[in-house]
Amino acid sequence: MNYNRFLIIISLFVFVLPLRAQDKGNAVLLKTIFENISKKHQVSFNYIEEEIAVFKLVPPSNSLTLQEKLNYITEKTQLKFEFISKKYISVINNQKLDKPLCGFLLDEETKEPIIGAFLQITATNSTTITNDLGYFELNVKSANDIEISHLNYKTKLVQSTFLYVENCPKIYLKSIINDLEPVVTTVYLTKGITKRKDGTFEIKPKKIGQLPGLTEPDVFQTMQQIPGINATDENISNTSVRGGTHDQNLFLWNGIRLYQTGHFFGLISSLNPNLAHKINIAKNGTSAFYGDGVSSSVLISTHTDSIENTRGAIGLNLINADFYTKVKTSKKSNIEISGRRSYTDLVTSPTYTNYFNKIFQNTIVTNYFDNQNIKYNSDEDFYFYDFTAQYHQKIKRKTDLFIDILSISNVLDVLQTKTENSITTSKYSCLEQQTYGANALLKTDWNAKNSSEISIYASYYNINSENESIESNQIFNQENTILDTGIKLQNSHVLSDKFTFLNGYQFNEIGVRNVDIVNTPIFSRKIKEVLKNHALIAELKYRSSNDKFNGRIGFRQNYIQEFSTFIFEPRVQLNYKFTPFFQLEIMGESKHQTTSQIVDLQQDFLGIEKRRWTLSNNKDIPIVKSNQASLGFSFNKNNWLLTLENFYKKVDGITSMSQGFQNQYEFVKTNGNYTVYGTEFLIQKQFRPITAWISYTFQENNYDFKTLNTTAFPNNFEIKHTIKSAIISDFKNIKLAIGAQWFTGKPTTLPISTTPIYTDPETPTVGYQSPNSSNLEDYFQVNFSGAYAFNIGKKSTLNLGFSIQNVLNNKTSINQHYRINNNTNVVEQINTFSLERTPNAFLRFTF
């Protein structure tokens, strides 16, 4: 039996394969075929060599007649032959073109142009790169195949004859990103936001549709549209992900950690919204390559794989002006620069006035003294700016070098005057908040299955203030500084069609300095702390051949040098597709962080940015650790999308100083934890060109401080019920969006009485009820925005738009605390209110 099989196999190799090879033959240049026919049949061909250079085919059989051979060539090439005489044959090419080989490269799915693809005629030095229309030209005509390659698309070979037609053909490439990163849905909330099967949300600002109340695709305001992400006081700098504090989120811009995320001290993003290429948000199941951020990770990248052509944009709204440009300095390099600056120190707009009134409520800037016998005045000068620069150099075809720099600044100057008994006194206060960052990244594709990245980064953050008291001669200087430097190495190995193994190492050193200086009474405090952290990383990705099962398991082994402490962090993300429409998602992670923000006094830094960064000392400020798990489902069919996710998270090692208490625990220093569990639900329907959605989030979020009188009580950031909704229209050049947001008021602590408690006659205090036993009023807001795009020529666009935040002008208390009025000796309530109805408009020209 085995012997017979062996004979059959041998027979196939001996007989069948040679016959098949003889049938297929080897393709040769058409010029060579003409030479062979000329010798065989004693004829001569008259042709223009450039017109037949692109043709390569299997020679006709020698047994054919001359006419049969010519008919065969005509069938294969569409060339025609005319006998001038019996021995002279003229070759006629009706496809004769004056222009070179050309074509358009397009994305197979989106039909959008593919920019920066590399084309090469095989075995030659003839190469080119597609422009911003996906167009290319090859000046050399050759019969060799043309190889098309792009890091985001599968490599493709195209016969040169395919391009040798009158109209430049369209060539479609299949994206490998979709293969490696399958999606749950290509539209989540609006165009340009995608939910992926790895549990992350991807935002592409350049493609994003309209969102209610936004004139621009602001990174951090956009992420607040996602279920489970809120800002209870409307400030970006208080973004809470599943009940966590803002400092528990990791924000990275091109590998640089951001410790300052907002301009206007939290109302708008600190990053130019028209710059970001891609943003990934992970609420759970974070890749093991990212530490810190026990609540979420927000990864912002402006890196592209290709060298893009020169382009730019300038824009203006009622707060700031900005510009962006990318200059192609050579075939293998470009420079990208962006800048934005407010003109609020020169011109006062309605938008600025409302923003100012919102952010500076109950601070020294809009002081709230109650003594009516003294006249107080305050002059403010405020502005902000941000600047980014990037250099991209391709080293050969498979190596890229990126160098990024970043600068962010907020500056506030305040001149306060008072007139008392005909005597005028002036005092000057100032606040500066600055960020500088740099990153160098080198990435190499060693071959089709192995690649590496190495980056060196640094991030510097500083906030300092000088407060000259209008009531005395006291001068209070404060400063908070962070220097974060490190190196990161990542390797990727494709083991098979199903498995990819990644490994790496990360080292970072963080130094934090806090300074407080008072002239009277004389007081000085300077604290500097440094921590070094090493991390070994391993991650395994799996994708089944039928795409039903996708998963990632990762491990991060941390070592904190100063504490001689090891912290092991497993991460897991699994996605299983029961049917083409129904999917199950399981995620879990263990994370830690050594940086956190605390509040020493509510009046610190002029009462505006009162939080300061500090480092864990493994004593009264422990390492913050979290464990999180979630189970989710999604259904996507007939333009309907339904998602449901249940989650549980516990965070240990928090300090009471990091939670912003303004009740009986305001000055208490203790440690504890919080536990939050809840459900996030979204239902979305697309009625082209309209997308409508509504989401609901439920959270139960409680503290546990063992040393406090009340050990367990609601978290300051608990928002028990949240409903968000929007209707978005994206019809040709017109974009419209209207949406609403409602959530229950966050917990607050009411006083027992309006009369102070005089336990110490010299220092009366407020008597409070049980902590967080009451809630603020429910929050409700309707927002609207619209935009229109004018196409100017082939490459330029003029965009006009406007937005209205809080259309109904609801005045809602978003925070409240109590103090003792020294003039009346009663307990008074201080409220902070939501943003008033605020219009904005923008003008943007891209070229």
460-483 pLDDT, tens per residue?
A: 999 999 998 877 888 999 999 999
| CA nearest neighbour of 250 among 222, 288, 291, 284 | 291
pLDDT of residue 142: 66
Last residue of some domain: 296, 319, 338?
296
- Residue 14 pLDDT exceeds 70: no
CATH number for the domain harbouring residue 127:
2.60.40.1120
Of 27, 47, 50, nearest to 38 by C-alpha is: 47
What is the CATH classification number for the domain harbouring 60?
3.55.50.30
Other CB atoms within a 10 A radius of the CB of residue 372 amount to 7
User: Does 738 map to a domain?
Assistant: yes
Q: Is residue 736 part of a domain?
A: yes
Taking only the tens place, the pLDDT of each residue in 385-414 is: 999 999 999 998 789 999 999 999 999 998
Instruction: Let me know whether 210 and 274 are in one domain.
Output: yes
What mean pLDDT do residues 434-463 have? 95
Q: Does residue 642 sit in the same domain as residue 735?
A: yes
Separation CA 184–CA 199 (nearest Å):
9
The secondary structure element, H or E, covering residue 23 is: helix 17-24
Q: pLDDT (tens digit, 9 = 90+) per residue, 801-831?
A: 999 999 999 999 999 999 888 778 889 999 9
Give pLDDT tens digits for 148-189: 888 778 788 887 666 665 567 888 887 765 444 567 777 899
What are the percentages of helix, strand and coil residues in the chain, rounded to 5? Answer: 10, 55, 35
CATH at residue 619: 2.40.170.20
Which band of pLDDT confidence, cut at 50, 70 and 90, is reported for residue 5?
very low
Residue 232: give its domain's CATH number. 2.170.130.10
Residues 480-498: what's their mean pLDDT? Answer: 95
Higher-scoring residue by pLDDT: 816, 208: 816
Average pLDDT of the segment spanning 355-368: 79
Regarding whether 704 and 798 lie in a shared domain, the answer is yes
Same domain, 250 and 392: no
Do 279 and 324 reside in the same domain of the chain? Answer: no
Confidence label for 126 from pLDDT (cuts 50, 70 and 90) = confident
Within a domain: 316: yes
Segment 219-227 mean pLDDT: 90
Domain assignment present for residue 281? The answer is yes
Q: Which of 42, 67, 92 is the last residue of a domain?
A: 92
d(CA 348, CA 344): 6
Residues composing the chain: 847
Residues 117 and 73 reside in one and the same domain = no
Of 273, 296, 319, the residue that ends a domain is 296
382 and 246 fall within a common domain: no
Instruction: Examine residue 185 and state whether it is found in any structural domain, yes or no.
Output: no
Q: Are residues 259 and 303 in the same domain?
A: no
Q: Give the angle 14-15-18 at the CA atoms, nearest 5°.
A: 85
- Band of pLDDT at residue 106, cut at 50, 70 and 90: confident
Question: Which pLDDT score is estimated for 129?
Answer: 86
Looking at the structure, do residues 32 and 126 belong to the same domain, yes or no?
Answer: no
Q: What is the pLDDT of residues 684-730, one digit of tens each?
A: 999 878 999 999 999 999 999 999 989 999 999 999 999 999 999 98
First to last CA, the chain: 74
What pLDDT shows up at residue 415?
87
335 falls within a domain: yes
3-state DSSP assignment of residue 795 = coil
- Same structural domain for residues 146 and 14? no
State the pLDDT at residue 8: 39
For residues 322 and 425, membership in a common domain is answered with yes
In this predicted model, what pLDDT tens digit does every residue of 732-756 receive, in sequence order? 789 999 999 999 999 999 999 988 8
Rounded CA-CA distance 228/572 in Å is 20
Mean pLDDT of 40-66: 81
How confident is the model over 619-637, as a mean pLDDT?
A: 95
Q: What angle do CA 170, 278, 335 make, to 5 degrees?
A: 80
Q: Which pLDDT score, from 0 to 100, does residue 489 have?
A: 97
Higher-pLDDT residue of 66, 569? 569
Give residue 140's domain range. Answer: 101-178
Number of domains in the chain: 4
Give the integer Cα–Cα distance in Å for 367 and 378: 8
- Residue 271: closest CA among 231, 310, 223, 304: 223
Same structural domain, 29 and 161: no
Q: Is residue 184 part of a domain?
A: no
Average pLDDT, the chain: 87
Residues 763-808 pLDDT 10s: 888 999 999 999 999 999 999 999 998 888 777 889 999 999 999 9
Please give the pLDDT value at position 477. Answer: 94
Q: What is the DSSP string of 454-483?
A: EEEEEEEEEEEEEEE-SSSS-EEEEEEEEE
In a domain, 346, yes or no: yes
Q: What is the pLDDT of residue 305?
A: 81
